[in-house]
Each structure stands twice: as C-alpha cells, then as structure tokens.
Structure 1
Amino acid sequence: MKKLRAAAAAATALVLAGALAACSSDSGSESSAGTTGGSSGSSQPESPTTVRFALDWTPNTNHTGLYVAINKGYFADAGIDVEILPYNNSSPEVLIDAGQAEFGIGFQNQSAVPMAAGADLQSVLAVEQTWTTAISVLASRDDIQSPADLDGLVYGGFGTPAEETTMKAVIQDAGGTGEFESVILGTTAYEALYSGDVDFTVPFIAWEGIEAEHRGVELKNFNYVDYGFPDNYAVIVVGNTTWMQDNPEVAKGFVQAMARGYEDAIADPAGAAAILQEENADVLTDLDFLVESQTMLSEQFMLDDQGQFGRQTQEQWDALGAFLFDSGLLVDADGDPLTEAPDWSQYFTNDYLEG
C-alpha cells in the first residue's frame, strides 16, 4: 500500500506516457481462482474465460474484495477464471494498456495521467470513495498546526506524477507558500518520519497509520479536502477499454463479481480479512491487523454519500482532472502538454455495475 517520486511532475508524466507506448515485455503470473464455468445448454460445461488482473503492490486490504470473490466462487459463477499478476516493475496501467492484463488496481490521481496521454484505459469501479492518505506529521510537533506550517520543511516522498504538485497546492490552500524540500525515500519515508529525519509524508491511514499506532508513534493528520483540495477515488479498478467493448458480458460479470466481493468485505470486515489472509498466508500473518485495517476501510472509505459501493461521478472526475490539467501534469501520446482539458466522462463508467 505504498508508493510515489520527486523529479518534476510533468517529466514523470512524460516518462509514464512513453512507457505506455513502448511496453511490450511479458509479465509473470500466478493462478488464483475457481475453474468451473456455466452451462451452455449441453451436457458439456463451457470452459471458463481467463481474465488477468494486475496488482499494484503485494496483497493488502485494498485488494480484499478480489480475494473474497475468488474464495467464495463469485468469479467462477460468472464463468471466469482470474489469473492474478503479482506486482512488478511495470505499473498495472502499463500492463493493461499493453493488453497484458484485462483489469488491475489503479488510483484516480495516478491513472488519470496515462488516460489523458491516450492509454486504452477506463475506470470501472471505485473501491474507495475518498482519499485514504493524508499529510502526516509527528503529533509532538507543536510548531505544525496546519499544512501552512510545512513551508521550508522536508517532505519524504515516493515519486508519483502529481505528488509534489499536490503537496504544494494543499499547503497553499492552507495559507502557505508551498515551498518545501523533497527527498525521495519510497517506503522508508515512514521510518524517516518516525525518527525525525523528515518532517512530513503521506501514509495510508488504514495501513501505515495503524502500524504507527501499534508502535506507539502518535501522528497528526491533515486531510486534503479540509483545505479545499479536490477529492480522489483512492483505489479504482481499471480495465482495458477495447477488450471490455469486445467482451461486454465477460467484463460485466467480472466487475459485478468483484463488487460483490467488496460488498461482502463492507458487511463483514472480520470475515473478509480472514479470507484475505487465507488466500495470502505466505505474506499476511497478522490477522488482527488485517481486521483492524479492513474495518476502518469498510466503515470510513468504501461507500458514497448514498451508501452505495463502487460508483463514480462526473463531478469528482472533473474536479480532480481540472487540477491535473491546470497544473500542467497532463501530456499527450507524444509527451506534449495538453492544450485542452480531457473529457473525463470517457475515462470512467458505471455501466458494468448495472443489471
């Protein structure tokens, strides 16, 4: 549940756009699902359709619904055999755009960059409706009472395209200048914060936030939207647009099976966490931690204002998209800055949830 980087944001977007255009390498895979297909009306069952799903990191509670749907046979009931592609150096967006995966995990603020550059991607499911990260500092820092107080301090960063620009905008929205020093640390940024080597970073509240609490480290968090910054679908499921158009029934079966798995996780966080651990016993050993994380996500982050799961709105895509465009973070397939804002309605859909 951890990632990001600190070169100029527009340059990072250019690199990602180039990678999307050039990607042709194969990715390793591991099988993880049921294998029974539905009946075609004859005595012979149809063979299940294999759908490849790319993870963004090692399995964690962002992925619980996927593993619940596998474990309970929801994909198998839809005639689908899910092949999970473990995280590697290629982002899910690159693999999906290159046709090496049909679906994968994305993040609205990150996936929007390759989408705007022409990648063959569309968001089909909002797993988390709002930011699940926050700007965090040590609670003992009495000199930091709002993001405005971060001016001149040191940020421990990770490297996503909009990262530093987002930090600057939130600080400015809070009344600061947005000028700070940035060092790229990756997942060691959290330890650097705890030890005082950096002044602020952006943990996932339902993962690193819980880890810090368990270690006796008290954090003070600043939420982006409290300072007027646009909201973000923190975790989304992204699909290959052309493949989904060519295979609409399989796509619908996949999305609805996955949504059902996540809805089970919302209704029964402890049971879903146990399934997540069961399906990944080699890497997930602390069940109590998983239950705490999944409960927090289920109660605070996964349902919209109407109590619904998975749906996305034009307003939220437009608002965050406007920030990305106005900040100069979006480029076309040739790496040139966009001169016109994208039509964000083309980059997400609720259609596969219907029916």
Structure 2
Amino acid sequence: MARRMIGRVHRILAGFVVAIAVLSTATACGSDSASDDTIRFALDWTPNTNHTGLFVAQQRGFFAESGLDVEILPYNNTAVDTVVDAGNAQFGISTHNSSTFSRASGAHTISVLAPLQRWATGIGVRAGRDDIASPKDLDGRTYAGFGDPGEEETLKQVIRNDGGTGDFTSVTLGTSAYEAVYSGRADFTVSYLAWEGIEAEHHGTPMKYFHYTDFGFPEAYAIVVDANEDWLAENPERAAKFVRALQRGYQAAADDPDAAARDLIEANPGAFNDEQLVIESQRMLADRYMKDADGKVGTQTLEQWAGNSGFLYRSGLLTGPDGAPLTAEPDWSTYFTNEYLG
C-alpha cells in the first residue's frame, strides 16, 4: 500500500483510524518530563520527507543552540490545526487548504512558514491510458479521493479550464486510492509526486500526471507550518527563535538533500522500508518545490494566498465560526506571516 502523506493537499484520509488517546498520552507524558517551556510540534502523518527540515533541526542541534526544548508529537487522526488551536501543540504541519479552512472557521492559527513553495501533487492516471490525454478526458470518469472538502472543486476547475464540464463520479478511498486506479477500479486520483510518484516507479507501476498550474489553476503551498496565534503573541522571542531554527533545518534540507535524508532516516530508525525512496524524495523536493526564486525556504506571499484561498472562498467552500458560508472575502494577509523568519 502506498504511503499517503497528509502534508499534501489532502487533510482527511478515509479508512485510516488511530486512537485520539495517542496524542493525549503523548502530551501528558511530555508534561511530566518537560518543563512548561517545552515547544510541542504536531506531525500530520508518520515521519516523511515533508518533515525533513524539522528532524534536521532536531538532529543537528539547531533548537538546542537556540535554547529551546522541542518535543515532536506522534501523528494521530486529529487534524493538526485542531491540535494547535486547542493549545496541545504550539506548531504543526498543515496544508494551504487546511490552514485556510481552519482559520476561516475561527481557529486561532496562522501560517508562519511554507516548507514547500508549490503544489507537490498532480492528478494521476495509470500510464498507458491513451484514452485520458488531458484533464478534459476525466469527464464521466471515476475519481478515487480522500474526502477533503476542497479537492473536488479543485479538480472540477482544472477540468473546466481544459475544456471539459467537470462532471465525474467521486468515491472516497483514502489510502486505497492509488491501488484502485492502477487496478482499474477507478480512473484517476491525486498523488504526492515526491513520494507516491517515486514509489510507483520503484514498484513498476508507473503513472502519468497532470499538473494544476499547467491548466490555469492558481499555485498553492503544498504544506505550511501553522502556529497557535495566542502563543505567538505571548512568546514573540521564543517564537522567532523556533521558526528561524526550523527554517534553518528546512534550508539545510533544500541545500543538501542527501545529508538531510540521512538525518531523517537516523531520527526514525525502522520507519522506512525503502531508504532509497527517502533519498530520491528529498532530492525531488529540494530540486522542484522547496526554494523560492531567491533560493530561500519558508517565505509566503499575499498573491499566492489570495490565489488559492480566494478560490476556496469563491467556490463557497469556506464557513465561519457559526458554520454558515462566508459572505465577505477574508483579508488573506491575516492568514500568514513572515514576521518570524530569518
């Protein structure tokens, strides 16, 4: 089964359940062994290359050099933004879409760093499907999806931009989506290019991909680091130290991906059956997704937030704290900050 990495566009993975008690236990144990000054970071999935910069910062002592005590919480099935908003973690890995949905609904969360500057996913179909040459050919097909409230609207718009109607059947399969496409039970899915794309090649089950931005869809940050906004206000100096140490870790991962991949593997012994996949994945992220035009990792722009999050608003997908659809477009500059970056 392909390893589904939630630090991509999707936030909900159907059919994969881990008890919420995992996080409660981890937090309680952390409280017993660490001081009140401990900074807790919530993972959105089991360790993978979306997290490399975090583990680089831990392994190389960047947090310790800044005088910070950092605890990495294990993944569980509670949405990271929910964990961060509740104060059970000060920071966590999220996605551009999930971050948008959470803040719109009233969560006290804000994006402070974007480890991946661009979409790192693509619409995937089995290689050799000559009857599907571009997104418009997905009309009338079956999509193996994940239950993210924004995913279907995104796919519909990409298909329409290519001249189709955007009409397709959707089935929520979660981690079984890739296998369903390759076996012919579904026609297309959305794959994480720097993991499942490479994994497919390793397994001899190649896919072909359509990229959102090739069909007029706005760019998005594949993953972001969200923070508890109240904690930031109360701890501005520690917040800046943490974000800069984390940024340093991700920059190192972008500048020397092989060494960073080894740090990730060493920090998580036994977690990876295919260590070469980890190395190739980190190389791909470093080469295509992590750096902005100036070679820097972590920065965010209002233009990109307004493009992707604005699409979610215009599609009527965003709801406020009362659960009703938003009637006025948010000020996207309040959804992120570069204030704590180096």
Q: Check whether the contact 1:255–1:353 (CA below 8 A) recurs between aligned residues.
A: yes
Match status 1:311 vs 2:299: yes
Matches within 5 A, 1:197-212: 197-212=185-200
Percent identical pairs in the alignment equals 54
Match status 1:323 vs 2:320: no
Larger Rg over CA atoms: 1
Cα offset, 1:286, TM superposition: 2.4
Gaps in structure 1 of 5+ consecutive residues:
8-22, 37-46
Structure 2 CA distance for aligned equivalents of residues 173 and 98 of structure 1? 39
Amino acid aligned to 2:43:
L
Partner SS, residue 207 of structure 1: helix
1:74 aligns with 62
Gaps in structure 2 of 5+ consecutive residues:
15-19
Q: Check whether the contact 2:23–2:76 (CA below 8 A) recurs between aligned residues.
A: no
1:20 aligns with none
Q: Check whether the contact 1:102–1:239 (CA below 8 A) recurs between aligned residues.
A: yes
Match status 1:113 vs 2:105: no
Gap change, CA 1:156 and 1:349, over 3 Å in 2: same
Structure 2 CA distance for aligned equivalents of residues 208 and 70 of structure 1? 26
Cα offset, 1:28, TM superposition: 3.3
Q: Deviations over 1:142-170 (max 9, x none)?
A: 01111000000000001112011111111
Amino acid aligned to 2:279:
V
Match status 1:333 vs 2:330: no
Q: Deviations over 1:166-191 (max 9, x none)?
A: 11111111110000000110011011
1:63 aligns with 51
Cα offset, 1:24, TM superposition: 12
**2:275 alignment partner, one of 270, 284, 287:** 287
For these two proteins, the number of residue pairs brought into alignment is 327
Root mean square deviation, CA, Å: 2.2
**1:53 alignment partner, one of 25, 41, 47:** 41
Gap change, CA 1:299 and 1:6, over 3 Å in 2: closer
Structure 1 CA distance for aligned equivalents of residues 182 and 23 of structure 2? 39
Q: Check whether the contact 2:52–2:260 (CA below 8 A) recurs between aligned residues.
A: yes
Structure 2 CA distance for aligned equivalents of residues 193 and 93 of structure 1? 30
Matches within 5 A, 1:1-355: 1-2=5-6, 3-4=10-11, 27-29=24-26, 49-354=37-342
Amino acid aligned to 2:132:
I
Q: Deviations over 1:248-277 (max 9, x none)?
A: 011101101111111111111111111101
Structure 1 CA distance for aligned equivalents of residues 225 and 13 of structure 2? 26
Q: Check whether the contact 1:4–1:186 (CA below 8 A) recurs between aligned residues.
A: no
Cα offset, 1:78, TM superposition: 1.1
Gap change, CA 1:128 and 1:268, over 3 Å in 2: same
Gap change, CA 1:60 and 1:280, over 3 Å in 2: same
Structure 1 CA distance for aligned equivalents of residues 273 and 242 of structure 2? 28
Q: Check whether the contact 1:121–1:239 (CA below 8 A) recurs between aligned residues.
A: yes
Structure 2 CA distance for aligned equivalents of residues 271 and 66 of structure 1? 14
After TM superposition, the score normalised by the length of structure 2 is 0.91
Cα offset, 1:307, TM superposition: 1.8
Partner SS, residue 316 of structure 2: coil
Q: Check whether the contact 1:277–1:287 (CA below 8 A) recurs between aligned residues.
A: yes
Partner SS, residue 28 of structure 1: helix
Q: Check whether the contact 1:4–1:157 (CA below 8 A) recurs between aligned residues.
A: no
After TM superposition, the score normalised by the length of structure 1 is 0.88
Partner SS, residue 353 of structure 1: coil
Structure 2 CA distance for aligned equivalents of residues 289 and 212 of structure 1? 10
Cα offset, 1:306, TM superposition: 2.3
Partner SS, residue 191 of structure 2: coil
Cα offset, 1:216, TM superposition: 1.2
Structure 2 CA distance for aligned equivalents of residues 170 and 72 of structure 1? 42
Cα offset, 1:336, TM superposition: 0.6
Q: Check whether the contact 2:161–2:216 (CA below 8 A) recurs between aligned residues.
A: yes
Cα offset, 1:80, TM superposition: 1.1
Amino acid aligned to 2:239:
A
Amino acid aligned to 2:110:
Q
Structure 2 CA distance for aligned equivalents of residues 4 and 26 of structure 1? 17
